């Protein structure tokens, strides 16, 4: 796998998703940057709301942030009546949904079920290596970190 941005048709919305974690507190955050035709359409970020996730989410470190960002991308696509290509640097984003990894924990089952219920909102999946100067991925990473500073 290479370090360049995925080639996605220009009309498709591209959602870069990322998560982060405060190493001292274990609190996770998420970042989302959505583009179309290489233009930023939406960016958002926040702290993971553990009250809306299964009880084991608090022990998942940044995985909860990664999964929350992907679910936020899907919610945006659903509200916008469109699809998104999901670009991620944590392979669980895709692997739990397509069955390459078994969803053994409550959080991963919750995520898998949410994504499968809304799979019509997913155009495609694209893995990128983290911290390789891919603009959208770096933006999502920056947003996830920014959420902790709020």
Q: Which CATH number covers residue 87?
A: 3.30.420.10
**Total domain count, the chain:** 1
Structural domain contains residue 8: no
Range of the domain at 109: 13-147
Q: Using pLDDT thresholds of 50, 70 and 90, give the confidence band for residue 3.
A: low
Structural domain contains residue 143: yes
Structural domain contains residue 109: yes
Write the pLDDT tens digit of every residue in 32-59.
999 999 999 999 999 999 999 999 999 9
- By CB atoms closer than 10 A (0-12, 13-18, 19+), residue 82 is middle
Structural domain contains residue 59: yes
Predicted TM-score of the model (pTM): 0.94
- The pLDDT score that the predictor gives to residue 80 is 97
pLDDT surpasses 50 at 131: yes
Write the pLDDT tens digit of every residue in 64-113.
999 999 999 999 999 999 999 999 999 999 999 999 999 999 999 999 99
């Amino acid at each position: 796998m290479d370090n360049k941005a995925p080639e996605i048709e220009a009309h498709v919305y591209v959602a870069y998703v990322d998560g982060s974690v405060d190493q001292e507190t274990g609190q996770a955050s998420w970042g989302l940057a959505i583009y179309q035709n290489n233009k930023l359409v939406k960016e958002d970020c926040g702290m993971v709301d553990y009250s809306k996730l299964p009880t084991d989410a608090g022990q998942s470190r940044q995985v909860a942030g990664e999964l929350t960002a992907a679910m936020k991308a899907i919610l945006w696509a659903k509200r916008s009546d469109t699809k998104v290509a999901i670009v991620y640097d944590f392979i669980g984003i895709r692997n739990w949904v397509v069955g390459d990894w078994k969803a053994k924990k409550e959080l991963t089952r919750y995520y898998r079920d949410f994504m499968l219920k809304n799979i019509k909102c997913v155009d495609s999946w694209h893995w990128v290596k983290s911290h390789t100067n891919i603009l959208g991925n770096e933006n999502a990473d920056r947003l996830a970190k920014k959420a902790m500073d709020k």
